[in-house]
Structure 1
Amino acid sequence: MSEAVDWQVAVRRAGGLARPGPRGSRAELRALITVLRTAAREAPRHVGAITGLHAAAEAAARVPVYVVDRPRWAEANVEMFAHLTGGLLPAATRPGAARIAGEEMGVVLSLLSTKVLGQFDPFTAGAPGRLLLVAPNVLHIERELDLDAMDFRMWVCLHEQTHAVQFAAAPWLADHLRTKMRSVVDEVADSDDALARIARAARAVVETLGSLRGEPRPHEMGGALVEAFLDEEERAAMGEVVAVMSLLEGHADVVMDEVGPARLPSVRRIRASFEKRRDGTSAPDVLLRRLLGMDAKVAQYRNGARFVRDVVARVGHDGLNAVWTGAEHLPSAAEIADPDAWVRRVHG
């Protein structure tokens, strides 16, 4: 008997497959790292000024910051997944099964490692978490979109450090999310319909391919492959997690844009360019995003940002900050779509 996933295989496969990213002179790369670290330290102050979460912003400024390459980002995420699923996944019973699972995880992470600009991880390192900034991806995007490098690097750090402020303002939130996610994993791991789920996954791939030809796609909350493995009850539980993630991502998107042109002169151009890129263009890119749930990630940003803007328009950032006071004040999936309902429930 062994673990369900060979985590070291996942690390090696992701590191071996991850493309190195754009080239730069030694001086240029040193400057990139220095600017990202400096921006990460400065960003919480701006987040605190916008949100009113000053004490949380001070705590976020002390979060460890790691400027990493793509293989190291993948390795950090393997650590996070291993931490989140520890003791839940059934042990591998067939020879080589754990290695194959590790290989598959490594392939997926190698693909995602080229997409992620930054990530706040509140789970692996414990309070106050850790911030990962993926230097080659930041460099690639600012070159591809011809963006002001100083503005864009700060913009990225504002988003990720907003997450650090969120978890500092709500010290209970990491455990709340961990419990919800582990509950879903536990239910899937204990299920006895693995073959039926695999058949659904195969159908999901076919449906996703069909969606590229303009046919309707039924998967709404996550990637086609993820959704295929969830039954109705598990999807409802995942819906609670998605609602919280929508809030977190949308809140970070709103905050990073509210810093405004006084601090980031090109912020509006960055947002316009970045939104176009988020939508993707090529069929392989669209297929990958739909299978892995990256379409859902984009929807989280947009739905959550709409919720945050509507709530702030009604009750200000101080009123929105009620979400950080307890799990009972988190918005449901229905309230993400109907911000007035959340305002009525929480503020009367």
Structure 2
Amino acid sequence: MTSPADLIINWDVAQSAAARLVPPGPPLKPPAAAQEVADLRQSAAEAVSYVHTITGLSAAEGLGADQRDVLVVDRPGWSAANTDSFRKLLRPALEAAAEKKPQLFSEGSSAQVLGSAAAGAELGGILAFLSANVLGQFDPFHTSEQAPAGRLLLVAPNIVEIAKQLNVDRSDFRLWVCLHEQTHRVQFAAAPWLRDHLMSSISTLSISTMSQADALPQRIAEAVKGLRQELKQQKSGGQGDAAAETHPRNRLLEAIQSPEDREIMSHLTAVMSLLEGHANVVMDAVDASIVPTVKTIRRRFEQRGKNRSPLEKVIRKLLQLDAKAAQYRDGQKFVGHIVETVGMERFNTIWESPEHLPTETELHNPDDWIGRMGFTPQG
């Protein structure tokens, strides 16, 4: 019997649409492509020992020798891998939606077939854009015999293309990319409970969102009305609600989410910011003894981010990628402050249990986390 989740989104359409819409990568002859794959695997293996040295996490020991969960892919391959991950992550929520509205998802009906195909095509379009821009990714939600605890994806054509655009040393750039992605792999190895913790939070949030679908139109209308009144009061010189000073989009999201949903979203924001911020701190610790041309790579890569095309800027805004980047910078400040204040060894206790993870408030006030953990600044 077909899973209800597979009746809501046509995953085959998502995968084929992503493969069809993605722009081609740089042309490489088979021998050159094979060499690039081999070089990326070698860089991935080398990167782990450097992550181990910088972080001091014992979970990194031996990871470099295990290449079974390292997958070098092209753009369609990355999209296919992420289609599988979305399918697994969204299954509980989609099944909840189908259970609540079974009449809308009757297998074989025209509404079901057209709706699932449209949803698949939309997801495919998003994956196509991302697959042309992602350099690498650790996917903790993938499980298989070869990769029981997640897998590392390295998108070879993008790494080749960006290295060429930046005019940087290809070997150094490969290692630089692998250092970031292998840090994520080490994080989940150090906190084996983290995968299930994140999956549970994501599932709870998505199920809640789906279950409230019927009430969303009314809640959105009420939220918009409230925002209009607050903005009108501000313009007329009144103080208004202090919360109205935040971005209207954020106010709208807060209004249509339940308090429980907002709490989960806040937690996920803090955790994802921690993971990316930690990886950025590791990257900042990389010097010329590891990546000889690291200063040039950093400078040109950062400059590239400022020179995006108008279309790419619009798409990134729609997908809120720039907002995520800001969150990750907050995570980097959090990690950097704690490491500087109490040292790397004490910071590493953050991977011991869910209770040690920071709240979103602590993310912006790292001394609060230090106090909660009972640490004192090192002399």
- Change in Cα spacing, 1:198 to 1:120, as seen in structure 2 (3 Å) is farther
Matches within 5 A, 1:223-302: 227=253, 231-233=257-259, 234-302=261-329
Return the alpha-carbon distance in structure 2 between the equivalents of residues 104 and 288 of structure 1.
13
Deviates more, 1:146-155 or 1:81-90: 81-90
State the partner residue of 1:102. Answer: 120
State the partner residue of 2:189. Answer: 168
Q: Aligned to 2:177, which of 156, 160, 163?
A: 156
Structure 1 residue 142 corresponds to structure 2 residue 163? yes
Structure 1 residue 111 corresponds to structure 2 residue 129? yes
State the partner residue of 2:101. Answer: none
Which string of whole-angstrom CA distances, capped at 9 and with x for unpartnered residues, describes residues 164-202 of structure 1?
Answer: 1000000100011101111110111101234458889x9
CA contact (8 A) 1:123 1:129 kept: yes
Q: Which amino acid aligns with 2:59?
A: A
Q: Which amino acid aligns with 1:303?
A: D
State the partner residue of 1:15. Answer: 19
CA contact (8 A) 1:280 1:286 kept: no
CA contact (8 A) 1:278 1:298 kept: no
CA contact (8 A) 1:170 1:325 kept: yes
CA contact (8 A) 1:119 1:131 kept: yes
Structure 1 residue 71 corresponds to structure 2 residue 82? no
State the partner residue of 2:215. Answer: 193
TM-superposed deviation, 1:336? 1.2
TM-superposed deviation, 1:315? 1.3
Q: Runs in 1 of length 4+ with deviation above 6 angstroms? A: 197-200
CA contact (8 A) 1:246 1:303 kept: yes
Return the alpha-carbon distance in structure 2 between the equivalents of residues 302 and 220 of structure 1.
19
Return the alpha-carbon distance in structure 2 between the equivalents of residues 129 and 14 of structure 1.
22
Q: Which amino acid aligns with 1:49?
A: T
Return the alpha-carbon distance in structure 2 between the equivalents of residues 318 and 170 of structure 1.
15
TM-superposed deviation, 1:34? 1.1
- Change in Cα spacing, 1:169 to 1:61, as seen in structure 2 (3 Å) is farther
Return the alpha-carbon distance in structure 2 between the equivalents of residues 331 and 290 of structure 1.
27
TM-superposed deviation, 1:281? 3.4
- Change in Cα spacing, 1:172 to 1:311, as seen in structure 2 (3 Å) is same
Which string of whole-angstrom CA distances, capped at 9 and with x for unpartnered residues, describes residues 19-76 of structure 1?
Answer: 1211233333222211111111111111111111123342465251111011110111
Return the alpha-carbon distance in structure 2 between the equivalents of residues 265 and 285 of structure 1.
31
Q: Aligned to 2:91, which of 67, 73, 86?
A: 86
State the partner residue of 1:344. Answer: 371
Structure 1 residue 311 corresponds to structure 2 residue 338? yes
State the partner residue of 2:230. Answer: none
TM-superposed deviation, 1:280? 4.7
Deviates more, 1:168-177 or 1:229-238: 229-238
- Change in Cα spacing, 1:217 to 1:281, as seen in structure 2 (3 Å) is farther
TM-score (norm 2): 0.81
Q: Which amino acid aligns with 1:267?
A: V
